[in-house]
Amino acid sequence: MSSLRKSKVKYILLLVLSSLIVTANTQTLAHTVQISENVGATIHLEPNDNPRAGEVTQIWFALTRKGGKVIPLKNCNCQLAIYSEPHVTGELALIEPRLKSIQAERYQDIPGAEVTFPKPGAYQLLLSGKTAIEGKIKPFELQFLVTVATGKAVDIPQSGQNIGREETTNRLAQPLILLGFLLTSGCIVVFLKPIK
Higher pLDDT, 167 or 130: 130
- CATH number, domain of 153, equals 2.60.40.1930
Q: Confirm whether 18 is domain-assigned.
A: no
The proportion of the chain whose per-residue pLDDT surpasses 70, expressed as a percent, equals 61
CA distance 159 to 89: 23
Task: Give the pLDDT confidence score for residue 172 in this predicted structure.
Answer: 47
Question: What does the pLDDT look like over 35-83, one tens digit per residue?
Answer: 887 888 999 999 888 999 999 999 999 999 888 899 999 988 899 999 9
Q: Which residues pair with 107 in a beta bridge?
A: 104
CA distance 37 to 113: 23
Pseudo-torsion of CA 54, 55, 56, 57, nearest 10°? -100
Task: Give the pLDDT confidence score for residue 100 in this predicted structure.
Answer: 96
* Weakest-pLDDT range from 3-17, 62-76, 163-177: 163-177
Higher pLDDT, 53 or 33: 53
Q: How far is CA 119 from CA 109, 110, 141, 149, 164, in A?
A: 30, 27, 25, 8, 16
Region 12-41: mean pLDDT is: 62
How many domains is the chain built from?
A: 1
pTM, two decimals, is 0.62
Q: Which residues pair with 65 in a beta bridge?
A: 39
CA distance 116 to 56: 5
Q: CA geometry: angle at 30 spanning 182 and 127, to 5°?
A: 125
pLDDT at 23 over 50: no
Q: Confirm whether 118 is domain-assigned.
A: yes
Number of C-alpha atoms within 13 angstroms, CB side, residue 118?
18
Q: Confirm whether 1 is domain-assigned.
A: no
Nearest to 99 by CA among 74, 118, 121: 74
* Range with the largest mean pLDDT of 124-133, 141-150, 153-162, 186-195: 141-150
In the chain, beta strands by DSSP E: 33-36, 39-46, 56-65, 76-84, 100-104, 107-116, 121-131, 140-148
Task: Give the pLDDT confidence score for residue 177 in this predicted structure.
Answer: 67
Question: The domain containing residue 77 runs over which residues?
Answer: 30-166
Q: Confirm whether 61 is domain-assigned.
A: yes
What is the DSSP code (8-state) at residue 70?
Answer: B
Mind giving me the DSSP string for 96-149? -PPPEEEEETTEEEEEEEEEE-SSSEEEEEEEEEEESSTTTS--EEEEEEEEEB
CA distance 31 to 107: 14
Q: Confirm whether 97 is domain-assigned.
A: yes
Q: Are 78 and 52 in contact (CB under 8 A)?
A: no
Cis ω on the peptide bond leading into residue 47 (within 30° of 0)?
A: yes
What confidence tier does 181 reach under pLDDT thresholds 50, 70, 90?
low
Question: What does the pLDDT look like over 126-150, one tens digit per residue?
Answer: 999 987 666 666 789 999 999 999 9
Q: Confirm whether 141 is domain-assigned.
A: yes
Q: Confirm whether 143 is domain-assigned.
A: yes
Q: Confirm whether 13 is domain-assigned.
A: no
